[in-house]
Amino acid sequence: MRSLSDESLLAGLASSDPDSSAAFVRRFQGRVFGLAVTILGDPNLAEEVAQETFLRAWRHAATFDAARGRVITWLLAITRNVALDALRLRRQEPVDPSVLIDLRADSRTEPETQGVLADDSERVRQALVRLPEEQRRAVLMSAFFGRTAREIGEIERIPLGTAKTRIRTGLLKLREAFEVSNDR
């Protein structure tokens, strides 16, 4: 099972194959739970969210398109959606986005963060670090915590138009940075 691709395991999960399902959960649980905790800050709620994420992955596996992206990014997008629903329903206070860059810097030396995933995280961190601070904060608040431009404007005490510009400019720059690093 260790040698099977992410896509093969997802196909196994979709067909309710017990071995593939177990391997799929084992392979991604750290990533899924890690993102849920990052967004929610509550490990118990994050476990509920992680379980629901795997359930949705099973339910919607047929919609995964390998041509459009990787299993891990698809799965994390589901995690984000489930976590943001929980955040809203439980009125949980989101974590300060500025800690995200530091968190990543701390965790990258941990032994369990290995190989491709560690490279991915570092690549993202490097791209984010190059953004002006205010754009980075705006993008992180939206990407991780689902903050709207209006909410970011209120938090940062800036006009709505400025918040919108920060989100847009920041994300456009990131897309460019990711495209360049993928071409290398």
Return the residues of window 69-128 that contact other proteins according to CB under 8 A. Answer: 69, 72-74, 76-82, 84-85, 89, 100-101, 103-104, 106-107, 110, 112-113, 117, 120-121, 124-125, 128
Shortest Å distance, C-beta 3 to other proteins: 19
Please name the residues in contact with 29: beta carbons below 8 A apart, sequence gap of 6 or more: 50
Amino acid identity for residue 75 in this structure = L
Residue 60: DSSP 8-state: T
Per this entry, what is the length of the chain? 184
Residue from 55, 66, 160, 180 in contact with other proteins (CB under 8 A) = 55
Q: How many residues bind other proteins (CB under 8 A)?
A: 77
Query: Binding to other proteins by residue 135, rule CB under 8 A?
Result: no
Which of 9/35 has CB closer to other proteins? 35
Query: Binding to other proteins by residue 67, rule CB under 8 A?
Result: no
Shortest Å distance, C-beta 168 to other proteins: 4
CB-count exposure of residue 139 (10 Å: 0-12, 13-18, 19+):
buried
Residue 147 to residues 4, 81, 143, Cα–Cα distance (Å): 37, 13, 8
Shortest Å distance, C-beta 156 to other proteins: 15
**Contact of 100 with 140, CB cutoff 8 Å:** yes
Shortest Å distance, C-beta 47 to other proteins: 5
Q: How many CB atoms lie within 10 A of CB 35?
A: 23
> Residues 10 to 29: which contact other proteins by CB under 8 A?
16, 18, 21-22, 25-26, 29
Residue in 73, 81, 62, 78 with CA at minimum distance from that of residue 14 = 62
Q: And the tokens for 170?
A: 């920041």
Question: For residue 100, which phi and psi values (nearest 5 degrees)?
Answer: -65, -40
Shortest Å distance, C-beta 33 to other proteins: 4
Query: Binding to other proteins by residue 41, rule CB under 8 A?
Result: no
Shortest Å distance, C-beta 11 to other proteins: 15
Which of 8/120 has CB closer to other proteins? 120
> Residues 141 to 160: which contact other proteins by CB under 8 A?
142-144, 146-150
